[in-house]
Amino acid sequence: DISSFYSALSIRKVFRPQNADGKQSRIADYFASNVFDLRAMVKRLSAQDLETMTKVMKYGGKIDASLAERVASAAREWAMEKGATHYCHWFQPQTGATAEKHDAFLWFDKQGNPIERFTGPELLQSEPDASSFPSGGIRSTFEARGYTGWDPSSPMFIMETENGKTLYIPSVFISYHGEALDFKTPLLRSNGSLSVEATKTLHLIGEKKVTHVTTSVGPEQEFFIIDKKHAMKRLDLHLSGRTVFGRKPSKGQELEDHYFGHIPSRVQSFFNELEVELYKLGVPVKTRHNEVAPGQFEIAPIYEGSNIAADHNQLALKCIKSVALKNGFVALLHEKPFAGVNGSGKHVNWSMSDSLGRNLLDPGATPHENLVFLTFLCGILQGINDNADVLRASIASAGNDHRLGANEAPPAIISAFLGNTLDKILNAIESGSADKVNAEKIMIDLGVSHVQEVAKDNTDRNRTSPFAFTGNKFEFRAVGSSAPINYPTAILNAAVHDGLTKINKKLEEKAVNGVVSDNDLLLILREVIIQTKKIRFEGNGYSQEWRDEAAQRGLSNYSKTPDALMVLADKEKTKFLKNAGVFNTEDILSRLAIQQERYIKQCLIEVNCAIEMAQTLVLPVCIEFHSKLMKNAKLSSEISCSSPSKKMAERFGDDISHVWSTLEALKIQVEKITSGDALDHHHLEKTSKIISEVLMLKLEDLRSAVDTVEAFVPNDLWPYPKYSDMIFGI
Ligand code: ADP
Ligand code: MG
């Protein structure tokens, strides 16, 4: 409704933090002010403790009990100075959300006086009752012991709300036997093994000074915001995160006038508040802009170590939601809240750096440096080529199914885009002489000794590739907007670990005194380039030609989650995850079960919302309007006055009947699926497939029937906000 759109423009005034003199503070003054980082530790820990902490925060590692005791005490003092009363282990069970259980610092001394206390063991470990978290059958309820353990590589922080402050301790969540129950543990494990394998590669090609390799991530986060008053009237948005009904408005995104447009002032005030909150938490958000669809926006941080980036992305998601509410909005993090306009994704920009501070995906200035770059590029290609199906599974979700392959997001076919220059270079290496090479000369001939060549090519972006090289990083574009990024990043790390392991084996065979000559290296890379050619694609990923060609090349194309997930049951294909120490067999099978279950439940929630809305809102309103039409038709026939009422009543009656019959068909199908033991563990595969192949199509039938009647019912009678209200009403 257009009038309330204008009247709703009351803007919450948010001031940036101010100094004592009343002037606005610089971001640098309050950045990370709520983070117990090295700057905060300096004042409270000895030089030696600080050194250990610095190392652990950078490369991971163990912390002994006595250091934990000192860190706990320092963290408590710092947190209490800032007004915190509680602490909590903050972890990421496989629900997609974060979890926390708060404990007060309260204790009693020997005399029984109340004191504040926070001990080393309390910092190191906690035991929440884990029986209500998804475990995919790993544990039965009676042995549901889960442990959260401090992850010292991600700094503690204070979360402020209007009602108090709590010290948050980033934590892993594992079972009694050490199985990972969360999304963070796999990432930490994959980072550890990738570091070992990549360092080995570097040593074998003569880079002996390197001691560690780390991964960096910068996630670009897309989301929608809509006015709270509209969101509150939509049961589907409220419960399932997406609209199951809604007729496409007369205007969508076709004029392309929203993308990078002026940020509406209400949204600007939301961004201001969001940024201040995130800055205090040490999240380095840098970019904000309007996205393609009306009502859609993006924020992106400066990239960081992948584990911290993943935690920070979770904080960003949390703050986007809470700050939106404070500003009269509801933020929609779902991958496809609205049909007919673009959905939301998360481009996970990913790179590897060594302990000397070099980005290994940055083409260098000399032929040898470029060989280092090409070695890692080949390791990545090998990893993606050999493990594409599991990478696809790592981004599978009910929400992402609406987005992947919908001509707005990458297809579900995993391929890699390198850009014209790099593609040419790899092709030239491939077609070069196989037996006799002069690596230095070839490098110079190929023109790769000029960094700028590849960097310049970075401008030639291919938006349709799920995995694109963009100058000095890869961009994993198929990740869903609501997904925790540590999981797909862990799988990607493990895939690259696998690629590098295979290359290292070949390098070791050729090594003399532990080092491979540039010429031999180039020959090995040539083999990899030939082997992985099928995964490289430079063209339009949205086109039917690509789907056909991909099928010819033998690439998989799992468009729906239930099919995509089944690779996790294939021991041969998931072997690389075990080799990288990320999961054991039981872990993998439990993840399969958890994801199947999530898919089933998510779809059933959507379907049940649709049924409820159709039954309690759409049909009653339609029937009421229809009876008006019929009365009117009767009246006009009595006075023999020509009127469209009769024709409208006939046509509309048919349309309502169609809503009724599609609704009945949907209900019968739901009944079939949920009765009996369809949701039993043994039937998850079958049930999830019936849902994607039958139930979701019946939901689409109902949607199309409901969207048809929406066009006939007068606006003031229609029972919930329309698309035009929501996506343009901010
Ligand atoms: P785009 O034009 O696609 O928005 P940007 O250059 O703005 O690309 O980068 C997007 C994200 O990539 C940002 O979060 C940025 O910090 C991150 N990024 C940049 N360089 C790297 C890198 N070497 N490794 C990982 N992420 C990076
Ligand atoms: Mg980008």
Instruction: Please tell me whether residues 233 and 147 are part of one structural domain.
Output: no
Residue corresponding to tokens 């979700």: 397
Q: In 3D, which of 628, 631, 567, 634 has the Cα closest to residue 595?
A: 567
Rounded to the nearest integer, the mean pLDDT of the chain is 90
Whether residue 499 is contained in a domain is answered as yes
Output the pLDDT for position 459: 46
pLDDT at 400 over 80: yes
β-bridge partners, 377: none
β-bridge partners, 182: 93
Instruction: Please tell me whether residues 210 and 351 are part of one structural domain.
Output: yes
Q: How many angstroms separate the alpha carbon of residue 379 from the centre of ligand 2?
A: 22
Q: Are 610 and 244 in contact (CB under 8 A)?
A: yes
User: Is the beta carbon of 303 within 6 A of some atom in ligand 1?
Assistant: yes
User: Is the beta carbon of 305 within 6 A of some atom in ligand 1?
Assistant: no
User: Is the beta carbon of 458 within 6 A of some atom in ligand 1?
Assistant: no
Whether residue 296 is contained in a domain is answered as yes
Residue type, 122: E
Instruction: Please tell me whether residues 423 and 542 are part of one structural domain.
Output: yes
Output the pLDDT for position 461: 66
Task: Tell me the backbone φ, ψ of residue 287, rounded to 5 degrees.
Answer: -115, 140
Residue type, 720: Y
At 242-262, the pLDDT tens digits run: 999 999 887 777 777 777 778
Threshold 0.90, pTM exceeds: yes
β-bridge partners, 359: 353
Regarding beta strands 296-301 and 285-290, do their DSSP bridges make them parallel or antiparallel, or are they unpaired?
antiparallel
Output the pLDDT for position 108: 96
Task: Tell me the backbone φ, ψ of residue 248, rounded to 5 degrees.
Answer: -60, 130
The encoded tokens of residue 128 equal 């929440």
pLDDT at 353 over 60: yes
Report d(CA 552, CA 549) in Å as an integer: 5
Residue type, 36: F
Q: pLDDT band at residue 139, thresholds of 50, 70 and 90?
A: low
Whether residue 591 is contained in a domain is answered as no
Q: Which of 7-11, 326-330, 497-501, 702-706 has the lowest mean pLDDT?
A: 7-11
Calculate the alpha carbon distances from 151 to 185, 300, 445, 575 in Å: 9, 24, 48, 26
Beta strands in 322-447 (DSSP E): 329-332, 346-354, 416-417
Residue 345 burial by CB count (10 A; 0-12/13-18/19+): exposed, middle or buried? buried
Name the strand (E) or helix (H) holding 518: helix 518-531
What is the number of the ligand closest to the CA of 459? 1
In percent, the amount of the chain with pLDDT more than 90 equals 70
At 315-351, the pLDDT tens digits run: 999 999 999 999 999 999 999 999 999 999 999 999 9
Residue corresponding to tokens 């050619």: 533
Whether residue 681 is contained in a domain is answered as yes
Q: Are 117 and 107 in contact (CB under 8 A)?
A: yes
Report d(CA 499, CA 392) in Å as an integer: 17
Residue type, 166: T
Report d(CA 389, CA 383) in Å as an integer: 11
Q: How many angstroms separate the alpha carbon of residue 706 from the centre of ligand 1?
A: 42
Q: How many angstroms separate the alpha carbon of residue 716 from the centre of ligand 2?
A: 42
Residue type, 16: R
SS3 at position 422: helix
Report d(CA 215, CA 493) in Å as an integer: 8
**For the CA of 287, the nearest atom of ligand 1:** 7
Q: Are 405 and 559 in contact (CB under 8 A)?
A: yes
Q: How many angstroms separate the alpha carbon of residue 7 from the centre of ligand 1?
A: 38
**For the CA of 359, the nearest atom of ligand 1:** 23
Q: In 3D, which of 493, 618, 553 has the Cα closest to residue 187?
A: 493
Range of 676's domain?
597-728
DSSP per-residue string spanning 362-405: S--SSHHHHHHHHHHHHHHHHHHHHHHHHHHHHT--HHHHTTTT
Report d(CA 94, CA 98) in Å as an integer: 9
Output the pLDDT for position 138: 59
Q: pLDDT band at residue 127, thresholds of 50, 70 and 90?
A: confident
Output the pLDDT for position 452: 44
Report d(CA 147, CA 132) in Å as an integer: 13
Domain boundary among 553, 583, 613: 583
At 443-478, the pLDDT tens digits run: 666 655 554 455 555 545 677 899 999 889 999 999
Instruction: Please tell me whether residues 558 and 485 are part of one structural domain.
Output: yes
**For the CA of 218, the nearest atom of ligand 1:** 14
Q: pLDDT band at residue 54, thresholds of 50, 70 and 90?
A: very high
Task: Tell me the backbone φ, ψ of residue 122, rounded to 5 degrees.
Answer: -65, -35
Q: Which of 302-306, 404-408, 537-541 has the lowest mean pLDDT?
A: 404-408
SS3 at position 118: coil
**For the CA of 349, the nearest atom of ligand 1:** 26
Q: How would you classify residue 647: left for phi > 0, otherwise alpha for psi between -120 and 50, otherwise beta?
A: alpha
Domain boundary among 154, 181, 208: 181
Whether residue 1 is contained in a domain is answered as no
Maximum distance among all Cα pairs of the chain, rounded to whole angstroms: 105
pLDDT at 481 over 90: yes
SS3 labels along 426-477: HHHHHHCCCCCCCHHHHHHHHCCCCHHHHHHHCCCCCCCCCEEECCCCEEEC
* 106: CATH: 3.10.20.70
- The stretch 364-379 carries a mean pLDDT of 89
Output the pLDDT for position 141: 47
Q: In testing the pocket of ligand 1, which one of 214, 283, 306, 349 has its CB within 8 Å of the most ligand atoms?
A: 349
Instruction: Please tell me whether residues 651 and 526 are part of one structural domain.
Output: no
pLDDT at 296 over 70: yes
- Going 447 to 448 to 449 to 451, the CA torsion angle's sign is positive
- Report the b/e string of 695-709 with b at 16+ CB within 10 A: bbebbebbbebbbbb
Q: Which residue's CA lies nearest to atom 17 of ligand 1? A: 218
Output the pLDDT for position 457: 56
Instruction: Please tell me whether residues 275 and 176 are part of one structural domain.
Output: no
Q: Which residue's CA lies nearest to atom 1 of ligand 1? A: 220
What is the number of the ligand closest to the CA of 479? 2
- Report the b/e string of 366-377 with b at 16+ CB within 10 A: ebbbbbbbbbbb
User: Is the beta carbon of 220 within 6 A of some atom in ligand 1?
Assistant: yes
CA 30, 34, 39: angle at the middle one, nearest 5? 80
Instruction: Please tell me whether residues 432 and 556 are part of one structural domain.
Output: yes
What is the number of the ligand closest to the CA of 485? 1
Instruction: Please tell me whether residues 576 and 606 are part of one structural domain.
Output: no
Residue 137 burial by CB count (10 A; 0-12/13-18/19+): exposed, middle or buried? middle
Q: How many angstroms separate the alpha carbon of residue 298 from the centre of ligand 1?
A: 13
Instruction: Please tell me whether residues 553 and 414 are part of one structural domain.
Output: yes
Whether residue 161 is contained in a domain is answered as yes
CB atoms under 10 Å from CB of 357, counted, come to 6
Q: Are 479 and 409 in contact (CB under 8 A)?
A: no
Q: In testing the pocket of ligand 1, which one of 220, 312, 380 has its CB within 8 Å of the most ligand atoms?
A: 220
Output the pLDDT for position 4: 55
Q: How many angstroms separate the alpha carbon of residue 54 from the centre of ligand 1?
A: 25
Output the pLDDT for position 425: 86
- Going 420 to 426 to 432 to 438, the CA torsion angle's sign is positive
Q: In testing the pocket of ligand 1, which one of 216, 303, 352 has its CB within 8 Å of the most ligand atoms?
A: 303
- The stretch 498-502 carries a mean pLDDT of 98
pLDDT at 161 over 70: yes
| Residues whose CB falls within 8 Å of the CB of residue 478, separated by 6 or more in sequence, listed in order | 345, 392, 395, 400, 404, 409, 410, 412, 414, 466, 467
* 236: CATH: 3.30.590.10
Q: Which residue's CA lies nearest to atom 24 of ligand 1? A: 351
Instruction: Please tell me whether residues 530 and 616 are part of one structural domain.
Output: no
Instruction: Please tell me whether residues 551 and 671 are part of one structural domain.
Output: no
**For the CA of 301, the nearest atom of ligand 1:** 14
Domain boundary among 130, 162, 181: 181
- The stretch 133-162 carries a mean pLDDT of 79
Q: pLDDT band at residue 96, thresholds of 50, 70 and 90?
A: confident
Task: Tell me the backbone φ, ψ of residue 89, rounded to 5 degrees.
Answer: -80, 125
- The stretch 568-594 carries a mean pLDDT of 94
Q: Are 16 and 273 in contact (CB under 8 A)?
A: no
| Residues whose CB falls within 8 Å of the CB of residue 442, separated by 6 or more in sequence, listed in order | 429, 432, 522
Please give the tally of structural domains in the chain.
Answer: 3
Instruction: Please tell me whether residues 562 and 601 are part of one structural domain.
Output: no
- The stretch 616-644 carries a mean pLDDT of 91
Q: How many angstroms separate the alpha carbon of residue 63 from the centre of ligand 2?
A: 37
Report d(CA 376, CA 356) in Å as an integer: 16
Whether residue 334 is contained in a domain is answered as yes
Whether residue 452 is contained in a domain is answered as yes
| Residues whose CB falls within 8 Å of the CB of residue 200, separated by 6 or more in sequence, listed in order | 500, 504
Q: pLDDT band at residue 704, thresholds of 50, 70 and 90?
A: very high
